[in-house]
Structure 1
Amino acid sequence: MAEGRFDGRVAVVTGGAAGFGKAVAQRLLADGAEVVLVDRDAEALAATAAELTEVRPVRAVRADVSQEADVAGYVAEALDAHGRIDAFFNNAGIEGRMAPMTELSIDDFDRVIAVNLRGVFLGLRDVLRVMKAQGGGAIVNTASMAGIRGSATFSPYVASKHGVIGLTRCAALEGAPFGIRVNTIAPGHIDTRMARDLTHQVDPDNPQAAYERAVARIPLARYGTAEEVANLATWLLSDEASYVSGATHLIDGALNA
């Protein structure tokens, strides 16, 4: 394999069994990284790890990012296998149920916040400790365009992604003296399982119509791909982005321009 941007580096990817996580893991592996893949879906995780191992051996760790012990566990496994963490794609998230606030239960709200916000916080906290001790690293958190705007019937998700952007800014300031960069990606409409689920929630009787309405609002007139998101995320994790930290990077086909 040709020399890559991440040769000799160790990367941890949460939500790694599919979507953005899988695409980022593929790019990191192709660019020479050792990858620790984390997901709570054990079956999907095993299948993805087996597929990626055809490129380079991958360590798969089943974990629920909302649970403190599980986060400590995946960090410990990464250190046990490789002794350090150079890059962290803090990505795991869920969409939750779409409904007006007046129709949501506290369980609906707490479920989304636990994964999307507490999970990001716990990952940041534990990986920052490692990176401070080793003298540097790069982190990318996954937010959403929902982190910079409101959306009726989607309040728990919107609140969680606004929170991810706030955590990113705080972590960038705390990490800078130790050579740690922290950024956020904010995807718009990307062709993933989550996006397909959302179109079904928006219009259960005709999800194709919901998809077409969404495309009609995008200036580039299409959904993005997970691979395009991976292009941005891996650039931010690489030395090519060495002076980029504390920023939120939209990838939305100019929808929020």
Structure 2
Amino acid sequence: MTEGRFEGRVAVVTGGAAGFGRAVGERLLADGARVVLVDRDAEALTATAAELAERGPVRAVRADVSQEAEVAGYVAEAVREFGRIDAFFNNAGIEGRMAPITELSVEDFDRVIAVNLRGGFLGLREVLRVMKEQGGGSIVNTASMAGIRGSAIFSPYVASKHGVIGLTRCAALEGAPYGIRVNTIAPGHIDTRMARDLTVQVDPDDPQGAYERAVARIPLARYGTAEEVANLATWLLSDEASYVSGATHLIDGALNA
């Protein structure tokens, strides 16, 4: 951690109530940023914002990232509250239902795409408009190792995360003339609520066994932590990564090496 590297800057974090979002929000506050946390879970968001308020200026905005008006609303609220947006962690996502393609409904597919891909697009669009006007900024989108590989019985999520990586590349090219950097993080197995829920879907009768089998495949022999993801995401958002844009950064304990 570099003390004060976000001093005087404004950051927006979606999916900010828990997991990667909370960890990144906490790190940004510790490094001097003013932070807007966005989540659709109002109760969890309020509790997280109250806890993190001891570390610095934080504003909680309840929004569903799949809804165009609500995305425009959280971006407008950030600008109204703090005057600008210097860093954007475009992170909100869901895992959806795991099943073979032949057993998925259109509703299963659309639900995941709406949050993970359309929500990512909407956030990018609105924040890029602000950053172009102000003359720069940095964006980190959350994909997954599922964005660079296939995975049986997980097709909506895999498709959505491949899409996030594609959006990142396009946004990096469009943002570069305005001093805007856009990157993607691609986490592997990280110890979060989503990861724990996925082990239940993989093996409802023995989720602990599913977890242990996953660990056995990881060269570093453990799940990562949300704090380790925050280390990467906040570095990419900072000026320390000033020549890094358009890239996808795996954080997976060498699983995809």
TM range, smaller chain? over 0.9
Structure 1 CA distance for aligned equivalents of residues 124 and 40 of structure 2:
18
Structure 2 CA distance for aligned equivalents of residues 148 and 223 of structure 1:
19
Aligned-partner residue type, residue 188 of structure 1: G
Q: Is residue 52 of structure 1 aligned with residue 52 of structure 2? A: yes
Structure 2 CA distance for aligned equivalents of residues 136 and 86 of structure 1:
7
Q: Show the counterpart of 2:218.
A: 218
Aligned-partner residue type, residue 243 of structure 2: Y
After TM superposition, give the deviation of residue 57 of structure 1 in Å.
2.6
Q: Show the counterpart of 2:189.
A: 189
Structure 1, residues 199-246: CA drift from partner, whole Å, max 9, x if none?
A: 000000110000000000000000000000000000000000000000
Q: Is residue 169 of structure 1 aligned with residue 169 of structure 2? A: yes
Aligned-partner residue type, residue 200 of structure 2: H
Query: What's the C-alpha RMSD, in Å, of the aligned pairs?
Result: 0.7
After TM superposition, give the deviation of residue 3 of structure 1 in Å.
5.0
Structure 2 CA distance for aligned equivalents of residues 206 and 126 of structure 1:
43
Q: Which TM-score applies when normalising by structure 1?
A: 0.99
Q: Is residue 234 of structure 1 aligned with residue 238 of structure 2? A: no
Contact 2:13 2:89 in 1 (8 A): yes
Moved over 6 A (4+): none
Structure 2 CA distance for aligned equivalents of residues 53 and 13 of structure 1:
15
Contact 2:3 2:30 in 1 (8 A): no
Q: Which TM-score applies when normalising by structure 2?
A: 0.99
Structure 1 CA distance for aligned equivalents of residues 106 and 140 of structure 2:
29
Q: Show the counterpart of 2:110.
A: 110
Aligned-partner residue type, residue 37 of structure 1: L
Structure 2 CA distance for aligned equivalents of residues 246 and 204 of structure 1:
38
Unmatched tracts of structure 1, length 5 or more: none
Structure 2 CA distance for aligned equivalents of residues 59 and 215 of structure 1:
37
Contact 2:6 2:33 in 1 (8 A): yes
Task: Report the secondary structure of 1:249's partner residue.
Answer: strand
Structure 2 CA distance for aligned equivalents of residues 56 and 169 of structure 1:
33
After TM superposition, give the deviation of residue 85 of structure 1 in Å.
0.1
Task: Report the secondary structure of 2:32's partner residue.
Answer: coil
Structure 2 CA distance for aligned equivalents of residues 184 and 3 of structure 1:
24
Q: Show the counterpart of 1:134.
A: 134
Q: Show the counterpart of 1:85.
A: 85
Structure 1, residues 8-29: CA drift from partner, whole Å, max 9, x if none?
A: 0000000000000000000000
Structure 1, residues 108-159: CA drift from partner, whole Å, max 9, x if none?
A: 0000000000000000000000000000000000000000000000000000
Q: Show the counterpart of 2:153.
A: 153
Identical positions, percent: 89
Task: Report the secondary structure of 2:38's partner residue.
Answer: strand
Unmatched tracts of structure 2, length 5 or more: none
Q: Show the counterpart of 1:19.
A: 19
After TM superposition, give the deviation of residue 56 of structure 1 in Å.
1.2
Structure 1, residues 61-105: CA drift from partner, whole Å, max 9, x if none?
A: 000000000000000000000110000000000000000000000
Structure 2 CA distance for aligned equivalents of residues 57 and 186 of structure 1:
28
Aligned-partner residue type, residue 17 of structure 1: A
